[in-house]
Amino acid sequence: MGVTMKDVAALAGVGVGTVSRMINDVAVKASTRKKVEAAIKELNFEPDASARALKTKRSQTIALILPTIWHPFFSEFAYHVEESLSKHGYKLYLCNADGDPQKEYDYIQMVKQSKVDGIIGITYSDIDKFVSTNLPFVSIDRHFSEAVTYVTADNFGGGKLAAEELDKRGCQKLVYIGGINQYPNETTLRADGFEAYCKEHHIAFDSLKIPEPIADFATPIKAFFDQVKAFDGIFCVNDTMAIEVMAALKTLDKAVLRDYQLIGFDGTKMESSRDYMLSTIVQPKQEMAAAAVDLILKKVAGEQTENRVILPVTFVSAGTTKDV
């Protein structure tokens, strides 16, 4: 603290420009490099990031905007984003938008204050109005328009896969349960894929789509199963919903595995070292994070990028589906 390039230059007997060039890996003669390195070490010099940012207009920082980090899917995703960014020498600003468009907007303003070089966003509001084409932005799980690059898991394929796995395990009557949001949402593709498989293979199915936000899961779920009495396979839009469905069905004396099989979506784990909580379609969160980081850094560097990346999902059997 307090020691600047000038001090280093003085001690090494060179100009400040030379020190700067060293720091930035620009060609420097070996002999002078030695001297400068020694001086840096002796003085314990640390380049000042603010000064550098002021000059270069780069802060080496990416903002991650998500609804809330307090959710296993997002926290796992954030973990991988930070990990990937860190490898590239970038830092991560964490932004909990809480579904509040104003908060999202506020964070986007930060980019203009040159605090961040780009934004990775998982957002369900109309953020695209604010992201101009010259602002590096990568959307996760949500397709805005051709101008906005996005990364997503193969939701449609995942829905199909869930139906197929249930079918393969002898289920005769399938059910889809999910929420439905006012904002267009890639997750509806999970239902589409599921239904497409059922139609294609002439499998009977029913769907329950609960309007979000959902305050009470139990009531609509029970009401639904009052209508649909016969069923032996359920696919839920995500793992959280699946757990709610299991709980609701238990009060109706229906036990998973004995009375029905169940597949969730996301592949949520409470912690990295623990198991999946149920059979589920796993999103490749680490790969999605890596892809998002890759894209955003390319954008920051001014390179052209593909405008969407769709990654494959996998099925993992973990306690709520039978062995095949």
Provide the binding-site residues for a copy of itself, judged by CB under 8 A: 1, 46-51, 53-54, 59, 61, 64, 68-72, 74-76, 78-79, 82-83, 86, 91-96, 103, 109-110, 112-115, 240, 268, 270-272, 274
170 binds DNA (CB under 7 A): no
- The stretch among 44-52, 232-240, 261-269, 282-290 that binds DNA (CB under 7 A) is 44-52
Looking at residue 129, the DSSP 8-state letter turns out to be G
Closest approach of Cβ 232 to a copy of itself, in Å?
A: 25
Q: Nearest CA to 193 among 238, 154, 160, 152?
A: 160
* Residue 207 touches which of a copy of itself, DNA, none (Cβ within 5-8 Å per kind): none
Burial status of residue 216 (CB atoms within 10 A of its CB: 0-12, 13-18, 19 or more):
exposed
Looking at beta carbons only, is 132 or 314 nearer to a copy of itself? Answer: 132
Q: Give dist(CA 312, CA 185) in Å, integer.
A: 18
Figure out which of the listed residues 42, 48, 100, 275 binds DNA, where binding follows CB under 7 A. Answer: 48
Q: Give dist(CA 105, CA 44) in Å, integer.
A: 40
Cβ-contact 278, 251 below 8 angstroms: no
6 binds DNA (CB under 7 A): yes
* Residue 91 touches which of a copy of itself, DNA, none (Cβ within 5-8 Å per kind): a copy of itself
Residue type, 116: V
Burial status of residue 171 (CB atoms within 10 A of its CB: 0-12, 13-18, 19 or more):
buried
Number of residues this chain uses to bind DNA (CB under 7 A): 30
Q: Give dist(CA 106, CA 75) in Å, integer.
A: 22
Looking at beta carbons only, is 116 or 166 nearer to DNA? Answer: 116
**Tokens of residue 263, six digits:** 């597949």
Which residues of this chain interact with DNA, rule CB under 7 A? 2, 4-6, 13-21, 23-24, 27-29, 31-33, 45-48, 51-52, 54-56
